[in-house]
Amino acid sequence: MELVFATHNKNKFKEVQLLLPKHITLRSLEDIGCFDEIPETADSIEGNAILKANYVTEHYGYPCFADDTGLMVDALDGAPGVYSARYAGTEKSSEANMDKLLEELKGETHREAKFKTTIALHLEREKVLFNGIVLGEITLEKSGAEGFGYDPIFKPQGYDKTFAELPITVKNEISHRGKAIKQLIAYLKNLK
């Protein structure tokens, strides 16, 4: 089976590729000649995942899945949420996003947060959503060099290290994206 993963994020693509079984050939947007900046104009994580998956299938004709992820911080009433990637501006700078978040939480002791990933699968006439959530907290400072996005400031519940300090195999086992991908894989296996 061949599927396109609708992302331009090479780190995210690599992370997901490691999770998928070998019988699924994963193609990137670049592999299919899609260099478009796919619009993420929905007001929800689910909506953005659906927009991206539909865009690839409608414009390029490939079965596709897409994800959208949001970091929701309790003390900020769920922000940055759907705006996580562009929290500090449209340039989507992870460093600027983390700096802004840490600044807004300065002096805050209530640092609980969660990551949520929704995967939208567009396969022939089937359209299915899968969700993964991981609870944790925002650290006081950046720590670790692995991962991407908010990983250096997010410590998952039950761990004393950030996502950026954990080996990718551990992160994939417990992360929001890992949980959603496992649901996707289980669904695809049932299609055989």
**Residues forming the active site:** 68
Closest CA to 181 of 191, 192, 172: 172
Treating both helix axes as pointing N-terminal to C-terminal, what angle do 176-189 and 10-19 enclose, rounded to 10 degrees? 50
Confirm if 176 and 150 have CB atoms less than 8 A apart.
no
* 118 vs 87: CA distance, rounded Å: 19
Where are the extended beta strands (E) located within the chain? 2-5, 25-27, 64-73, 80-81, 112-123, 126-138, 154-156
CA distances from 88 to 101, 111, 121, 136, 142 (A): 9, 19, 29, 22, 16
